[in-house]
Chains A and B, each alone.
Chain A
Amino acid sequence: MNLPPRCQQGADFIYNYPETGRPLRALTGMARAAGIDREEFMPVSRTRYTAGPLAHRAIRFVATALLLLALQPVQAAGPIDARLAGDLVEHHAPEVAVSGNVIVGVMAASASRALAQDLLAIRAPDSGSTTICLKVTSRDGTYTSRNEYSSDSAPAVLRLPYRSRLEEVLEQYTGKPGHIAITASRGNCVQSAPADYYLPSVVDAKTGELDSAPLSIFINGFDATDVYYRIAGANEISDCHYIEEGRHTAYNFSCEIAEVPGGTSLPLTVEIMREVYGRELEPLTIRILATR
């Protein structure tokens, strides 16, 4: 193998090979990342070419790494982090907060998992600056959080950093399907009944792609005996399901949209209809700005 003459002469392997220092620093970082010990990789004991096998390993490692990099498919950029306004505000108290909102969750089914892994993201289709109000509510109403995020990078997949200080509490809910509801609405958190929602989902940190899990809409039906939903453009009215298990203070109906009907344009308009023993209450219409 052809090594630089200085190396062959037992010169300082660290600083003299190759001639410039820059590639060597990169090489050092890669070696560290690969778990190769500095002493092993960098024979500072100025041995002669007897240090050859180590040098061989280092060079083979670099070559392999470069080859792998070259073979990597071109991938999308990762998600962009949205800015959280201030510190994350969250509450967990036995005193249950009884909310007045009918829509308590508009989310991909995987979003609860994303919360625990801090991989919660949305696709913001708007251009320019975006403000997002993220609300998280546990079904029993004991855990709540309300935070505002902003970004100037839209349209993009925006990760909403959620570094909870109540990880253990949160895991009790995120570990069980349907026990936590999330909404990411457009605009600030002052508005009481927003109409436009992003779809929080789990994001692949490397590819920046959002999970394509089914949609869940969680409803606080109050006195409603039946809740239905209809997607605009489709005639069919589908049932939302009453949550029978345990306490359901914050929301008591879930509408599962397994698949958005083909040909439905975005934003997705969903009409929520409630009935009390057959008597209709005022329907609600929400728009889901992007589904993936």
Chain B
Amino acid sequence: MEQTTEAPQQPGTGTSGTDNGQASKKQENSLLSSLKELWQNIRNSRLLTKFILLLILLMLAFTAWRAWVTPQWIFSVKASTGIIELQTPADGEIRWRVNDAIICSRGELQSPDAKLSKLKQTDSPCGSTAWSGYRFRDPEQTLVLNGSFRVLIERRSDGALYLSLRDHRAGSQADITAAANTDGDTPAKPPPQARLTFTDGTPAIVLGNNGRLKINIIWPGTNKDTSGFSTDRVFPFTGVTTIGRDINWTGTSMLQEGTVNVYTADDSPDKREQVDEAELLLGDQLRLENALRDDELIPPKGFIRYQPGGDALDVIAFGAADRVRIERYGDNGYNFRPGPLSKLLHDPLFIFVLTAFAGFISLVGTVDAMCSTRSDCK
């Protein structure tokens, strides 16, 4: 005799558990089927097609807009050049160490210091008799520029370094833009002033006579015996920069070589990416202009390094702009800027929207494909 003992059934388990599972599955199925029904309705009503078409049109419009809007790039220039021209900004101060130089002034320098006449050079490289040359012994004499000036720095083949300092002629486009952005309540800016300052007790000398500034600062060659000038020299600057010069049949100072790199103008430097690069050839001329951001002129910045043993000035300059102008001998020149595709591929907003768009389209495609392969979707 076989005895079988059956475990007593617990209330609430077994059949009822299966029932619950079946109920939840039913619920799930009904939700799924209602969703599928909804999807089918959407498909049948062509609402989805219309929506996707609208989305594509919007995406195209967005792409066109992002390709059209001009972003500000960061242009970084590294060049070796024989000549560079700067136009310093109206509101800013630039300091350059000018020890060991001959200061040439068209007309006499004006100073309360009686010793000044003793410093006048009888045999100077200043040129014609209209110019007076001075040499100061202070090893820390400094040229201080407050305001807008035109500066030309040239390195000659014999190693001599020439710096010409002139008034900036008002009326340029930059001046007009600056004037347009100045409201009536802004106090008038003080006139530009250039002065020589000393640390050995010599009183500061304001440069320029009768509102006419004509100063040449000359380091005549690298020969220590004549100039006592053999160390490296650095001129940091802010201002509109022209590297190189138009080629002509009389001058030999020109841009020798260099590269222009374009970076995305992200405010955080660690996020900057290089977008494009252009090579500069012998004789090119490159112009970095002021950038206009929030009604404010942002001038390019950089520095010039002179090395006695080198054959050119090393220049590093960078500035925000939508393009830089490169002029080549015999050619009208061209604006170097990244193309529309580079612009889009480095636009974070565009990339974000494009990713979202692509994700949405993929999702729709997947759902549609799933429904198409199952009979209950039909």
Contacts and interface: CB of A to CB of B under 8 A. Distances in A.
Nearest to B332: A94
A223 B250 contact: yes
B214 interface: yes
A220 B127 CA distance: 21
Interface string B127-164: 11011000000000000000000101000000000101
Contacts of A242: 150, 166, 169
B212 interface: yes
A34 to B, nearest CB: 46
B251 A275 contact: no
Nearest to B327: A247
B246 A247 contact: yes
A141 B214 CA distance: 29
Contacts of A277: 104, 127, 162, 164, 216, 218
Contacts of A98: 246-249, 329-330
Contact of A278 (B87, B128, B248): B128
A206 interface: no
A247 B248 contact: no
Interface in A143-174: none
Contact of B127 (A140, A142, A249, A278): A278
Interface residues of A, number: 26
B251 A95 contact: no
A244 B168 contact: yes
Nearest to A228: B130
B126 interface: yes
A248 interface: yes
Contacts of B131: 278
B173 interface: yes
Contacts, number: 74
B172 interface: yes
* Best-buried of B152, B164, B285 by chain A (most CB within 10 Å): B164
A111 B246 CA distance: 27
B267 interface: no
Contact of A225 (B152, B168, B331): B152
B128 A280 contact: yes
B323 interface: no
Contacts of B130: 278
B337 interface: no
A39 interface: no
A74 B332 CA distance: 51
Contact of B330 (A96, A140, A222): A96
A275 B127 contact: yes
Interface string B267-290: 000000000000000000100000
B332 A244 contact: no
A48 interface: no
Interface string A96-137: 101010000000000000000000000000000000000000
Contacts of B104: 277-278
Interface in A76-96: 94-96
Nearest to A224: B250
Interface footprint category on B = 35 or more
Contacts of B331: 94-96
Interface in B241-273: 246-251, 253
Contact of B173 (A226, A239, A245): A245
A87 B246 CA distance: 32
Contact of A96 (B164, B169, B251, B332): B332
A280 B127 contact: yes
A142 B332 CA distance: 7
B214 A226 contact: yes
Interface string B97-128: 00000001010000000000000000000111
Interface string A240-257: 011011011100000000
A188 B166 CA distance: 39
Interface in A235-292: 239, 241-242, 244-245, 247-249, 275-280
A95 B246 contact: no
A223 B246 CA distance: 10
A236 to B, nearest CB: 13
B333 interface: yes
7 contacts: A242-B169, A244-B168, A247-B333, A275-B128, A277-B218, A279-B127, A280-B128
Given A98-B248, A247-B327, A278-B130, 19 more contacts: A95-B332, A98-B247, A98-B330, A222-B251, A223-B251, A225-B164, A226-B166, A226-B214, A245-B172, A245-B173, A247-B325, A248-B246, A249-B246, A249-B327, A277-B104, A277-B127, A277-B164, A278-B106, A280-B127
Nearest first, the 10 closest Cβ-Cβ pairs linking A and B are A278-B127, A94-B332, A279-B127, A278-B131, A223-B251, A222-B250, A278-B126, A225-B164, A280-B128, A277-B216
